[in-house]
Structure 1
């Protein structure tokens, strides 16, 4: 397919692809790299396992946004008791803020890796200011197209495993036959993988973006054609996300794990996974991937948080609006970025912070999954577009798995 054809295909994909790409943010890269480095190929099965669950949950949220023409928070506010709404905010805000800070910190760290003479803190401040200007000045849809191309650097992880002899029987076994170790370290990484893959903030983002798409495209009736188009978009985005996840684990599991690098504490350690392919260009390519996904994901994170606040407090909202049209909405984004920036001045390393973020999502996700399932089956809200039995099955499995993993982790921690 020619470049022009690829570009057109890219444009036909909407919120689902952006959601999938932003899911492989620095938090995801760190978590999957640590999984491969720390446990070899024994967590490969999670990529195959999480895809249908992730696609089902994001599909539910997309359908809610399309049918109701509003985000999850507005739906909760309109149809559910206030304690549920405030409980969701309480569960979600700390993890989202930590994720914003961890991503900014990671982006600053990769810039410092390329230009060691400049302190990480200087890069973090510069990146935060850049994000503020870009988010306020440009419509998100416009910058997302550019950033999606930067994220394609992550596809280089797919090439590395084919550069050396691999035991493909072992890879196939670990992909299709789950390996489970009953200890704190293993359950921590499983919860982190689940948390960074089935991330609560993406639920809010997906619903809001679908609602905005319906408004922009002047969709009056949500028919089967619209729903099928949404489903294809979401499934494509989630497939892209999980393919990248699989190969990051495979690459680090076949490059770092055999080399004895079992604990990743710095971004340059994570970057070494690309050494067999990129040689001296490794750090530049890795930096491009982290910066691309970080610059794509942070507006998603901050935007999701601000949509939640705006819908709760009745503010004007929308990343396509001018600053003067939605001042409280944009001010809340600025505040969330500044609070996230403070993480840089803590003693937590960027990679550790990203891993802690994923674990935090893993612990809070079960509650939101239960809420989304309830909304998706509420005929008063969804009318004739309630969840199918298959969506409910996958959603219930996601709820059980996320809950079990979180309980197991708490047990081992205590």
Structure 2
């Protein structure tokens, strides 16, 4: 048993699968194409910040044997504040993920289109992929979901790192970009976007609930932390590989990149079929993994704050993720661009991220956690990350209301 725990990879892989989605692929690609290797340090920072928050979420789940939603419900006793928390979770996690689910399925469909070299099946592909994700979630086996997502993270790792190698990066500037922060002109919003695609509130719900299901005793916290130390840096490495690939392929060249559809095809004239295939495979894996984790996280979050059982086979749980999946399939199949709903989700997410980050810091200092409360160093690190979360939230609101110009 000890040997198994030592090499265990589990819930943190779900987090990595969740934050490496088509939106992250596009954000990282544009960062590399526009600024070369200069912003890689932002990914290093975002991975460290993610690990600080996700360690708190995992510890909370393992020690209390409850998800973050349940802890919010238990901690907030006043009905008005509790319903405000429910409204924020519903708006940012459930509504937001419903909209972004369309992008996840679209990204996976684009990857398949590039792999088979045809756009003819693109209209039906989101439906097929949505049904595939739905079948896996409907079975209701946490271990099955975990193994599928670990496999998709492994596939992403191979695909994006292989693409990175094929594009022959310039190692000097790459290492400089990783370890020496710089802010080229016009890059500040891209830095915020890179951090914001990694440090996301719904992963805190996902990690706390999945850690509570995977480990049943606080004595197993070392296994949870080892899991975190493996999976989150792997997700960060994938993001670094995407930025570096784009820097090698597009920085300083007159190449127009507007979205995920342009990535694989733009690599073809420079590096041949293999680079296009690897990028397409990575985009498919990123899309389908996020298409599974977004509905799952939403179901965990809403079930928790409403007091429903955290049972993958319960009807409230299934109806939540099923609704998000159906909305995502519709958006991806019809090519809908729900600008107003995305705006609403962006506002709600800007409010929720700092609130959830601050709640985590607060609840991880509660006496009921006993010796598993935050240490002084954890509080210091958590405070810094919470300040960053507040900044990200303000930026999200400023962007949504057009205050950024």
State the TM-score bracket (shorter-chain normalisation): 0.7 to 0.9
Q: Structure 1 266/313 Cα, relative in aligned 2: closer, same or farther at 3 Å?
A: closer
- Contact 2:54 2:204 (C-alpha < 8 Å) held by counterparts: yes
- Determine the structure 1 residue equivalent to 2:96: 95
The CA deviation at 1:189 is 2.2
1:43 pairs, out of 39, 43, 59, with: 39
The equivalences for 1:175-324 within 5 A come to 175-181=178-184, 183=186, 186-214=187-215, 219=216, 221-223=217-219, 226-261=220-255, 263-270=257-264, 272-273=266-267, 279-319=272-312, 321=313
2:66 pairs, out of 61, 67, 70, with: 70
Give CA deviations for 1:314-340 in whole Å, capped at 9, x if unaligned: 333333x4xxxx122112211111122
User: How far, CA to CA, are the matches of 1:10 and 1:38 in structure 2?
Assistant: 41
Give CA deviations for 1:139-182 in whole Å, capped at 9, x if unaligned: 24224424433433433433455557654332222222222246
Q: Which runs of 5+ in 2 are unaligned?
A: none
Give CA deviations for 1:231-272 in whole Å, capped at 9, x if unaligned: 111121111111111111111111122332253324243554
- Determine the structure 2 residue equivalent to 1:54: 50
Is residue 105 of structure 2 the alignment partner of residue 104 of structure 1?
yes
User: How far, CA to CA, are the matches of 1:362 and 1:246 in structure 2?
Assistant: 25
Give the CA RMSD over aligned residues.
3.2
Q: Which runs of 5+ in 1 are unaligned?
A: 1-7
- Contact 1:14 1:233 (C-alpha < 8 Å) held by counterparts: yes
- Determine the structure 1 residue equivalent to 2:12: 16
- Contact 2:73 2:306 (C-alpha < 8 Å) held by counterparts: no
**Size of the alignment, in residue pairs?**
389
Secondary structure (helix, strand or coil) at the match of 1:121 reads coil
User: How far, CA to CA, are the matches of 2:348 and 2:175 in structure 1?
Assistant: 30
User: How far, CA to CA, are the matches of 2:150 and 2:270 in structure 1?
Assistant: 25
Secondary structure (helix, strand or coil) at the match of 2:309 reads coil
Secondary structure (helix, strand or coil) at the match of 1:310 reads helix
- Determine the structure 2 residue equivalent to 1:122: 124
The CA deviation at 1:71 is 0.6
- Taking structure 2 as the reference length, the TM-score comes to 0.85
- Contact 1:65 1:72 (C-alpha < 8 Å) held by counterparts: yes
Moved more, 292-301 or 239-248: 292-301
- Contact 2:361 2:382 (C-alpha < 8 Å) held by counterparts: yes
- Taking structure 1 as the reference length, the TM-score comes to 0.83
